[in-house]
Amino acid sequence: MIDRRNILLAGLTVVMTARRASAQPSRRIARVGILNYAAAQDARVTEFRDGLRDLGYVEGQNLATTYRWADGHLDRLPQLAGELVAAKADVIIAIGPAVWAAKRATTVIPIVIAFSGDPVGNGVVSNLARPGGNITGFSYMSTDLAAKRLELLTQMLPPRPRIGILYNPDEPATELEMQQTKAAASAIPATLYPLAVRQPNDLPQAFAQAVRERVGAVIVFTHGFAVLNARQIIEQAGRSRVPTMYGWRDFVDEGGLMSYGPNIELMVKKAASYVDRIIKGEKPGDLPVQQPTKFELILNLRATKALGITIPRAVLIRADQVIE
């Protein structure tokens, strides 16, 4: 004989289980677009992915990333940004010069700047504290640090030095950094020699020009072109025996002479935290654009030996790290 009480109890259990299941929030997959000026295998992208993983995001479980890179071709970025918009990304992380293409592609999808030279000066956002709109992120203050880099470099040179400036004139961040470098040079005083490069093939000629002009050293504007072509720049500087200053330590780790700037790896991982906050519901316009508070002077003594120069004690004692 069928026990009706057991049937009723079983039925209630099924109903309650179904209700509890429907009350659980669905496991939504966050769609993150990555837009990069540089090559596919870029350390900055790896660091960003690591940052997301540290926050609990797992590809295929609660995260789906769409990655687009331009291999150093600025003209490709608008189309790539449009592809991320078409893919309906929940948020786009823009690395280096890619922020301009992302900004022009959408005013709706949140954009996080992994790092930018001067987002206010370049017109990317209206202010740092409350950027408004759909863009926020991090500035590595390339414009603000231009004078300091020149000051540190000229301490290694005779009075009234001649300094080469290696830069890509097509990159938006270049103009303001050049203005600040010129202003600082007038105060030192120092003579600047612009060395414009747009393609890797321009590098040998640029360093040959630096040698002809008898420059005492070169400052590399550490924007997209320099990052993408770091190895070639370091090698050309070594062959030409020209002391060179960079914007962050990656270049010194790879054999460059010196760098002064923030910890870029840390900034990119912090950018992952902004992506996380936006995914969880915060508005990008309410998140302040952050600036680094610590800057590192890194020196490579192996490079000094190869160049046949000596770093003054006044510069050595200021270094945060000396690679031997």
**For residue 79, what are the contacts with CB-CB under 8 A and spacing of at least 6?**
none
Helix, strand and coil percent figures for the chain, each rounded to 5:
45, 20, 40
Tell me what pLDDT residue 21 has.
Answer: 41
Pairing of strands 258-261, 296-300: antiparallel
* CATH number given to 30-140+264-286: 3.40.50.2300
Pick from 7-16, 205-214, 237-246, 311-320: least confident: 7-16
Burial of 134 (0-12, 13-18, 19+ CB in 10 A): buried
CA distances, 285 to each of 110, 267, 310 (Å): 9, 19, 48
State the DSSP code for 201: G
Tokens for 63, please give them: 């995260």
Tell me what pLDDT residue 276 has.
Answer: 97
Tell me what pLDDT residue 173 has.
Answer: 87
Tokens for 4, please give them: 């009706």
Q: Is the pLDDT of residue 19 over 80?
A: no
User: What sign for the dihedral angle of Cα 306, 307, 308, 313?
Assistant: negative
Residue 113: how many other CB atoms lie within 10 Å? 30
Cα separation of the two ends of the chain: 88
pLDDT tens sequence across 257-298:
999 999 999 999 999 999 999 999 999 999 999 999 999 999
Q: Is the pLDDT of residue 230 over 90?
A: yes
Topology (CATH) of 146-261+296-323: Rossmann fold (3.40.50)
Asked, colleague to colleague, whether 30-140+264-286 and 146-261+296-323 share their fold, the answer is yes
What are the boundaries of each domain within the chain? 30-140+264-286, 146-261+296-323
Tell me what pLDDT residue 129 has.
Answer: 95
pLDDT tens sequence across 32-68:
999 999 999 999 999 999 999 999 999 999 999 999 9
pLDDT tens sequence across 237-246:
999 999 999 9
pLDDT tens sequence across 137-179:
999 999 999 999 999 999 999 999 999 999 999 998 899 999 9
